[in-house]
């Protein structure tokens, strides 16, 4: 039967930490993977406008996640904005030395790293990714091939995160690309999770070698 209805859940992600069991799970990609649906973690105005205009009236079901932790952050308005056809990936800049991919709610970390690298003469591309059901990674893979180095950031508190999936997609496409994933994985203790997410300088140094 053809699906003509549109149903969207806009969920607040309680990811500030120390707020009970719900603060120990902020991995929208896990839910999307199990349910075989698309999800979108909105991190800036450009993403929000595109997703709202295209997805909310569209037939089918999806979840849109908003981070409680990032609610007070300065609103990012990218100067350059491009995206894959299915909104799997959003691209904000292009650089020849490194591809930075931000999963879940790590865009602020990606922007900070990009700025630090720029001051050292290192040009980087910047992406965010969404856990869409039928993912189009072509735009992201093209950039990764051009730079040859990929730094993936994922602050989701889960095991099967979107960052892991992206790393696998890139590795399967071209084994010559250097990939470094910074994530929390299973180190978060259930129920008393901190919101803190750090990107060690050692990870940045290793991917640039």
Q: pLDDT tens across 44-81, in order?
A: 999 999 999 999 888 899 999 999 888 888 888 887 78
Q: What SS3 string covers the chain?
A: CCCCCEEEEEEEECCCECCCHHHHCCCHHHHHHHHCCEEEECCCHHHHHHHHHHHCCCCEEEEEEEECCCCCCCCCCCCCCEECCCCCEEEEECCCCEEEEEECCCHHHHHHHHHHHHHCCCCEEEEEECCCCCCCCHHHHHHHHHHCEEEEEECCCCCCCHHHHHHHHHHHHCCCCEEEEEECCCCCCCCCCECCCCCCHHHHHHHHC
Flag whether pLDDT at 1 surpasses 50.
no
Q: Which CATH number is 199's domain given? A: 3.40.50.920
Task: Determine the structural domain holding residue 142 and report its residue range.
Answer: 6-71+78-208
Give the model's pLDDT for residue 197. 83
Instruction: Tell me whether residue 39 is in a domain.
Output: yes
Instruction: Tell me whether residue 1 is in a domain.
Output: no
Q: Determine the average pLDDT of the residues in 73-101.
A: 92
Evaluate if pTM is beyond 0.85.
Answer: yes
Q: Poorest-confidence range of 39-53, 63-77, 99-113, 186-200?
A: 186-200
For the chain, how many structural domains are there in total? 1
């Amino acid at each position: 039967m053809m699906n003509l209805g549109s149903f969207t859940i806009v969920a607040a992600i309680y990811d500030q930490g120390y707020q009970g069991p719900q603060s120990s799970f902020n991995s929208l990609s896990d839910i999307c993977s199990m349910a075989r649906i698309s999800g979108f973690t909105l991190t800036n105005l450009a993403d929000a406008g595109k997703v709202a205009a295209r997805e909310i009236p569209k037939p089918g079901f999806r979840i849109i996640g908003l981070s409680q932790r990032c609610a007070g952050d300065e609103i990012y308005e990218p100067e350059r904005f491009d995206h894959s056809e299915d909104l799997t990936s959003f691209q904000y800049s292009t650089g020849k030395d490194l591809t930075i991919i931000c999963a879940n709610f790590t865009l602020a970390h990606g922007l900070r790293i990009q700025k630090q690298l720029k001051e050292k003469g290192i040009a980087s591309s910047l992406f965010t990714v969404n856990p869409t059901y039928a993912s189009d990674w072509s735009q992201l893979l093209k950039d990764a091939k051009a730079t040859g180095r990929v730094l993936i950031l994922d602050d989701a508190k889960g095991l099967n995160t979107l960052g892991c999936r992206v790393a696998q997609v890139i590795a399967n496409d071209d084994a010559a690309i250097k990939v470094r994933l910074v994530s929390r994985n299973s180190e978060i203790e259930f129920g008393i999770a901190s919101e803190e997410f750090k990107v060690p300088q050692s990870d940045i140094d290793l991917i640039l070698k």
